[in-house]
Amino acid sequence: MRLIQSVENPLIKEIKRIKEKSEEKVFIEGVNLVKTALESQSIFIEKILATEEFIQRNKGFFEMIKKRGISIFFITEKLARLVSDTVTPQGIFAVAVFKMKTLKDLNIDKPDLVVIADRIQDPGNLGTIIRVVEALGGQAVFITPGTCNPLSSKVLRASVGSIFFLPIVKAQIEEIKFFINKNNLKLIVTDPQAERLSFEIDCREPLAVAFGNESTGVSEDLRKIPHSSFKIPHLGKTESLNVAVSAAIFLYEILRGRLKRKIYDMI
């Protein structure tokens, strides 16, 4: 185990670069996120950084990391606070290789539910959407140009590690259109001004569901693809729901409809 004490250390500088612009490497913070990354087959952890206090409190966990042959670095509490994005760092961090997929890389046999994150700006929203998609049976998330960086530490934390178990694909609108047509998916556009309600979606069909920018909604370019628009029933005075909340409601409604259909088919 090597000791790092200086902010000028090459590894600390590498972490700073990753946090500013993560492309093929990500910076992971917190014990739960590191544990989740260790369980995933889609991410390769290169280095672990930890404080002495964390190591003393988690000796069993650290023995497991040693057995995996991952490089471990001891850092001071001061450096932990410096590299951390949280108010109270847990004292463990990781640098890992995690590449975004392209549509050419995507290998889904008969896709029946994919989600399009269209120009989502808030990392917390994007991370939560990814978490919801993974939890409720989505098979991939397509990221359109103008969406925030899905590999940022804020997105990783908001996804609570779900991003490590779900294909995240950067794609142009034309590529998404090709994928939808090739796989006979029905495009669902979420729109608070739509006439039809979320529980009217025909869940038997293979679907691509689009959630748009927090201010302007789904883009006109995406709306040029033949689609159906749906909204969530709304009784309150606020104009609309948060996009991540909307994603949870829509995708739960789709899952509920499909499970209900399965039960009926068995009777």
pLDDT attached to residue 267: 57
Residues in the chain: 267
Band of pLDDT at residue 237, cut at 50, 70 and 90: confident
Query: What are 51-74's pLDDT values in tens digits?
Result: 999 989 988 888 888 888 899 999
- Stated pTM of the model: 0.92
Token code pair at residue 203? 């869940």
Q: Which of 111, 164, 159, 158 is nearest to 138 (CA)?
A: 111
Decide: residue 88, CB within 10 A, 0-12 exposed, 13-18 middle, 19+ buried. exposed
Least confident range from 104-108, 185-189, 203-207, 247-251: namely: 104-108
Task: Give, in order, the Cα–Cα distances in Å from 146 to each of 39, 154, 172, 212, 241.
Answer: 31, 17, 10, 11, 21
Q: State whether residue 118 is helix, strand or coil.
A: coil
CA–chain centroid gap for 43, Å, is 13
Q: State whether residue 137 is helix, strand or coil.
A: coil
Determine what percent of the chain is predicted with pLDDT higher than 70.
Answer: 98
Task: Please state the domain extents for the chain.
Answer: 2-97, 113-266
The residue-averaged pLDDT of 152-173 equals 95
CATH 1.25.10.10 fits 113-266, yes or no: no
At 34, which helix (H) or strand (E)? helix 31-39
CATH topology of domain 2-97: 60s Ribosomal Protein L30; Chain: A; (3.30.1330)
